[in-house]
């Protein structure tokens, strides 16, 4: 970073900047440390590219190496706002369906990063069971998923079909489905997170979880997992389990923090995690 940018960019902002000559391994460490799913690649403090954890996952799934240069996976046409446009950052994030935007000066030096997390009211989220009147909201939630999320959570549209069939069966299928929702000023609900269990007639049911694209990084996944714990523990379950694709590195870190243990590779080649409840 050049002297001018070092003076202008605060410590918080520097946590999201990485030099373009670094490796993807270093970038991944920074992504894990900053907890916001994105870093911005700079050359002498000037914005060059963006790199998300999704970019890293796609590169690795295509056979890439973590010790490759950042440029192998980065996006070299990043969206940004000039400092004179900062007041419209919230609208810009919503219009472009992105979770973060760098603020730059006329020389393209990164001065700050504005996140959707800084704008939305996480405390306004309510978690409740999904009912028949929620199908429109549920379908919209699945429609907004990015390609990598669909590949990891809704491959073959299996989970969208699962929740629709669950609602149509009026919940009589050994499953329980919950939506995390927020309300707009006109009272309309929007689904920002989703968690469900199936095989609830077994001692250890299966778990599925997803967070809306522009709400990732809000610690909403932690809240959803805690909600399932609060539902399952009093009902005498021995624990909960899930599988996750190997490239879903950030989710694996969350599962470990929430008490899940890695139990090896499941027959479908995904990683198996189990959280056991003490009795």
pLDDT at position 102 over 80: yes
Domain extent at residue 48: 3-118
Residue 6: in which H helix or E strand, if any? helix 3-8
CATH number, residue 108:
3.10.580.10
Q: For strand 261-265 and strand 239-244, is the pairing parallel, antiparallel, or unpaired?
A: unpaired
Count the domains in the chain.
Answer: 2
Q: Are 193 and 210 spatial neighbours (Cβ–Cβ below 8 Å)? A: yes
Beta partners for residue 206, in sequence order: 198, 241
Q: What is the DSSP string of 56-75?
A: HHHHHHTT--TTSBGGGT-B
Which sign does the torsion angle of CA 122, 209, 188, 147 carry? positive
Q: Is the pTM of this model over 0.75?
A: no
106 shares its domain with 144: no
245 shares its domain with 153: yes
pLDDT given for residue 156 in this prediction: 92
- Out of 85, 118, 151, a domain closes at 118
Mean pLDDT of 90-110: 87
What are the tens digits of pLDDT across the range 159-199? 999 999 999 987 788 999 999 999 876 778 899 999 999 99
What are the tens digits of pLDDT across the range 36-74? 789 999 999 899 999 998 899 899 999 999 999 999 999
């Amino acid at each position: 970073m050049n002297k001018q940018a070092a003076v202008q960019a605060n410590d918080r902002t520097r946590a999201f900047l990485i030099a373009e000559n670094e490796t993807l391994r270093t970038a991944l460490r920074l992504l894990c440390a900053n907890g916001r799913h994105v870093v911005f690649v700079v050359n002498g403090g000037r914005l060059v590219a963006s790199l998300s954890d999704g970019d890293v996952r796609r590169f690795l799934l295509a056979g890439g190496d973590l010790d490759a240069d950042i440029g192998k996976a980065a996006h070299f046409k990043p969206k940004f706002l000039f400092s004179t446009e900062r007041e419209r950052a919230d609208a810009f994030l919503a219009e472009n369906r992105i979770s973060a935007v760098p603020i730059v000066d006329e020389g393209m030096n990164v001065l700050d990063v504005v996140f959707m997390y800084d704008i939305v009211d996480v405390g306004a989220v309510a978690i409740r069971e999904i009912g028949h009147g929620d199908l429109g909201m549920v379908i919209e939630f699945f429609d907004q998923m990015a390609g990598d999320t669909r590949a990891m959570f809704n491959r073959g549209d299996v989970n969208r079909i699962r929740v629709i069939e669950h609602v149509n069966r009026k919940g009589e299928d050994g499953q329980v489905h919950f939506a995390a929702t927020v309300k707009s000023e006109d009272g309309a609900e929007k689904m920002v997170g989703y968690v469900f269990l199936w095989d609830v007639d077994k001692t250890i049911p299966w778990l599925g979880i997803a967070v809306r694209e522009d709400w990732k990084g809000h610690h909403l996944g932690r809240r959803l997992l805690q909600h399932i714990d609060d539902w399952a523990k009093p009902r005498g379950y021995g624990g909960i389990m899930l599988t996750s694709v190997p490239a879903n590195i950030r989710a694996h870190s969350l599962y470990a923090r929430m008490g899940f243990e890695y139990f090896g590779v499941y027959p479908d080649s995904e990683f198996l995690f189990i959280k056991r409840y003490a009795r």
